[in-house]
């Protein structure tokens, strides 16, 4: 492999981002089964929680799936993007990341290209979940599904960028990455109402849900997949996704620029 000229001028942010996106997407093309395999956990939740919720609703299969499946889509986005920093940790441990830092690429593009790559598996996995649920009575509004996946993609870019920033902060302590990952992931999931309704929960739990951006995202997905674009929760979900994306990219880019 030829030595990369560290003094070469960057080729432009858009071109650099595209190059990083293509590089990061190649493993998905070579091993598409990994995208499907990562769906095991959300499908287990769908298969185990679904019957319990159907029983609690008095056997209303269609109504329960309309409520539950959008939450599973948010779970796919959450689980999929929260763990992306682990890939960066592996690259830092093997020295691969250091080689990319001396390449004639914008540091911002290194982060944004990686984050954009997370949109591809997210869309594929979300579509698979919906297709699995349709034979059981789930009614999908196609324009709503497209809009819902777009909102999740925006959220995924930001949350993936935060995962990369966490990996950079924990580069010498990979156990810290997983500790923070597990400490935050499940409270965020439970306090979003994606698995169980929170209306009858204690007041402190409802307050926590009110400041959890995922709860707004879950409500928006339920409205969108039902075709109700005029529901006020859609606006709240879009704002939550956009805010997560903006914060994640800003934090991630700063972390990448400071990387050594």
pLDDT in tens, 200-226: 788 889 899 899 999 999 999 999 999
Please give the residue range of the domain that contains residue 224: 13-258
7 part of a folded domain: no
pLDDT interval class at 6 (50, 70, 90): very low
1 part of a folded domain: no
Give the sign of the dihedral formed by CA 178, CA 184, CA 190, CA 195.
negative
Token duo for residue 127: 């579509």
| Length in residues, the chain | 260
pLDDT interval class at 17 (50, 70, 90): confident
Please, which contacts does 229-236 make with residues 24 or more away whose CB atoms are closer than 8 Å?
A: 229/143, 229/144, 229/147
8 part of a folded domain: no
pLDDT in tens, 232-255: 999 999 999 999 999 998 998 888
**pTM, full prediction:** 0.84
225 part of a folded domain: yes
3 part of a folded domain: no
pLDDT interval class at 181 (50, 70, 90): confident
Confidence at residue 4, expressed as pLDDT on a 0 to 100 scale: 39
191 part of a folded domain: yes
| Residue 217 · residue 241 · CB < 8 Å | yes
Confidence at residue 118, expressed as pLDDT on a 0 to 100 scale: 79
**Nearest residue to 2 (alpha-carbon basis) of 101, 99, 133:** 99
Question: How many independent structural domains does the chain possess?
Answer: 1
224 part of a folded domain: yes
């Amino acid at each position: 492999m030829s030595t990369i000229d560290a003094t070469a001028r960057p080729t432009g942010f858009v071109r650099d981002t595209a190059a990083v996106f293509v590089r990061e997407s190649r493993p998905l093309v070579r091993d598409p089964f990994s995208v499907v395999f990562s769906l095991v956990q959300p499908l287990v939740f769908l298969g185990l929680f679904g019957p319990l919720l159907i029983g609690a609703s008095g056997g209303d299969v269609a109504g329960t799936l309309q409520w539950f499946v959008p939450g599973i889509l948010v779970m796919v986005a959450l689980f999929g993007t929260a763990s992306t920093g682990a890939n960066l940790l592996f690259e830092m441990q093997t020295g691969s990341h250091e080689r990319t830092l001396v390449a004639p690429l914008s540091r911002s593009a290194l982060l944004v290209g990686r984050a954009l790559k997370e949109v591809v598996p997210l869309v594929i996995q979300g579509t698979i979940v919906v297709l699995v649920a349709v034979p059981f009575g789930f009614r999908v509004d196609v324009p709503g599904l497209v809009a819902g996946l777009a909102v999740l993609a925006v959220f995924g870019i930001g949350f993936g960028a935060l995962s990369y920033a966490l990996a950079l902060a924990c580069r010498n302590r990979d156990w810290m990455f997983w500790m923070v990952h597990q400490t935050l992931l499940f409270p965020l999931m439970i306090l979003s109402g994606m698995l169980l309704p929170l209306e009858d929960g204690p007041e402190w739990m409802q307050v926590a849900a009110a400041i959890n951006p995922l709860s707004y995202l879950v409500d928006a997905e339920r409205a969108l997949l039902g075709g109700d674009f005029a529901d006020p929760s859609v606006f709240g979900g879009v704002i939550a996704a956009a805010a997560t994306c903006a914060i994640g990219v800003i934090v991630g880019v700063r972390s990448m620029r400071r990387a050594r």
